[in-house]
Amino acid sequence: MSAPSAVPSVTVIDYGAGNLHSVQNALGHLGAQVRFATEGDAIMGADRLLLPGVGAFADGMAELRSRGFVDAVRAFAATGRPLMGICLGMQFLFEKSEEFGTHDGLSLLGGVVKKLPTAPGIKVPHVGWNRIRPRTERTEAEHGPAFPGGMLAGVSPGAAMYFVHSYAALPTRQDAVLAVADYGDAEVTAAVAQDNIMGCQFHPEKSGPVGLSIIENFLRMLPNAGIYRLEVECPALCRNQSAIRCILRDALSLDERLRPSYTVASLLWLPYPRHTRHP
Amino acid sequence: MLPTASPHASPHQHAAEPSAAKQGLEAGQATPPRRGPAPRVIPRLDIKAPNLVKGIHLEGLRVMGDPAEHAVRYYQEGADELLYVDIVASLYERNSLADLVERTAASIFVPLTVAGGIRSVDDIHRLLRAGADKVAINTAAIRRPELLTEASRVFGTQCVVLSVEAKRIGPGKWEAFTDNGRERTGRDVVEWIREGVDRGAGEILLTSVDAEGTRKGFDLALIDAIGRHVPVPVVASGGAGSATHVQQAFDHGADGVAVAALFHHKVLGPRSLKQSLATAGLPVVLA
């Protein structure tokens, strides 16, 4: 474990739906310290945040909203700490879903969630073990025989994961798509990652040892250093959520190649006294 | 009662006869190699608390040991999913597997389906909370088909498995039974499954009462009649006695196959079975 603390801690969002037991069992098996958050205020101190989900998009978002999670998760994501969505939890990260009408998501990732295309011989929901692979455009020369690091580090293309879903995300940014699964003629978005925000459509907690290794990768992830440092060093500033969100929005909207250095630099130049309420 | 008693019950006969056409597969619509989920191998654990048991035609039970121990071993040996069936639950009208589910879910990281005596949305809630991913419903759905709709609205169709015990009553004709093949329902299996899917079942657990426990092969005509004709996955159960039998079930349109005696008697394990299937060209998942 490369984490500074021997026991990685993770906060799991409990919005009253979904089967948290499976996720809890998997996290427990991996030795993580698990906290459950039933309202938005409870997540701001989390080291990493897991957003599970089973059920319908609109109901789930309504629950997230009523418990104050929508703004809280967005603010958490802006701190640069790792956020992972599973299944419906991944779909929440996008802008909209077309499941039973059109409903707004968390808009942390660009794109929409649409119904899987049906075709002869193709059964929907997409249930069962399906193989994941990088997108065709990503040639082997580009990333080698394995997935790039991050959430899928150590997972071989062709590994099978357990899927249960009828809707799938269509991300705007193709480079956010880490892995897809073939379903009929469709390429189903299987895993996404953009900076500290990631998700998988399959259930890693139900995908055997390889699935567990994906969760383990998430547990080893550390916060985006620059932003996290600011929060540690300037807690007073970080309590001013609207200020920090404006700054971060500006920083994060930059071209991603410039982003890391710009983010750190801009934060260090903030016109706030760094010593204020220093811990 | 034995499958050989009926002229149409020998699996070898089913394999030989071009029953697909008879059963209504559209002419010329050969099944292309499907790009989608891998064929699933699912150890089936019939449980009469606190024991794992195995019968023949769902009767004449023999104690096989501790279900939790078997379940964990099957997971470690590469099972794609596990199926727990409380086989006396309907008699006592309750499912007693929540404890077992809870105990094993902490060390089994593949989907877990629980069957037997599930009668209400509350029952389902209890089992899901204990760690189950899906529930399979037979008797209660026959009595009150609306339960399938209610359950799928609350938990999603993927969570609701319609369990059907099919007993051959004539050539190409099966009747749905309940209570481990003891009680007739008067419902035609094909019709009942169609209705069940319309009402919200997201998967079918199709058990052949005739083939169950015989280890003489699946009722392939039954799988032909259902497998590719419903828009949801079909798990065939009953009769697995060799890797070839399991392969036949997949070839005839099963999306998953439940295996009991073959595993419990250690003739094969999930991994060795899947290796045989892979050698035979099936795209099973080898972990």
- pLDDT value at position A185? 84
Candidate list A63, A99, A103, A205, residue with the active-site label:
A205
How many angstroms separate the Cα of B79 from the Cα of each of A72, B72, B246, B249?
A: 39, 10, 14, 17
Contact B109 A206 (CB under 8 A): yes
**Structural contact between residues B168 and B9, judged by C-beta atoms closer than 8 angstroms:** yes
**Structural contact between residues B84 and B67, judged by C-beta atoms closer than 8 angstroms:** yes
Best-predicted range by mean pLDDT among A220-224, B25-29, B139-143? B139-143
Interaxial angle between packed helices A57-66 and A69-78, expressed in degrees from 0 to 180 and rounded to the nearest 10: 80
Q: Model confidence over A193-242: pLDDT tens digits?
A: 998 999 999 999 999 999 999 999 999 888 764 444 455 445 555 555 55
User: Residue A12's closest CA among A48, A66, A45?
Assistant: A48
Flag whether residue A58 sits within 8 Å of chain B, measured between CB atoms.
Answer: no
Q: Model confidence over A81-100: pLDDT tens digits?
A: 999 999 999 999 999 999 88
ipTM: 0.80
The bridge status of strand A111-115 relative to strand A167-171 is antiparallel
- pLDDT value at position A121? 72
Chain B residues whose beta carbon lies within 8 Å of the beta carbon of residue A183: 35-36
Q: Model confidence over A19-65: pLDDT tens digits?
A: 688 899 999 999 999 999 999 999 988 999 999 987 789 989 999 99
Which one of B26, B76, B255, B285 would you mutate to disrupt binding with A, by most A Cβ within 10 Å of its Cβ?
A: B285
- SS3 letters across B158-204: HHEEEEEEEEEEECCEEEEEECCCCEEEEEEHHHHHHHHHHHCCCEE
**Structural contact between residues B155 and B179, judged by C-beta atoms closer than 8 angstroms:** no
For residue B175, indicate whether it is catalytic: no
User: Model's pTM, two decimal places?
Assistant: 0.81
Q: Model confidence over B227-278: pLDDT tens digits?
A: 888 989 999 999 999 999 999 999 999 999 999 999 999 999 999 999 999 9
- pLDDT value at position A237? 53
**Structural contact between residues B180 and B215, judged by C-beta atoms closer than 8 angstroms:** no
Residue A183 and residue A116: Cα distance in Å, rounded? 9
Flag whether residue A255 sits within 8 Å of chain B, measured between CB atoms.
Answer: no
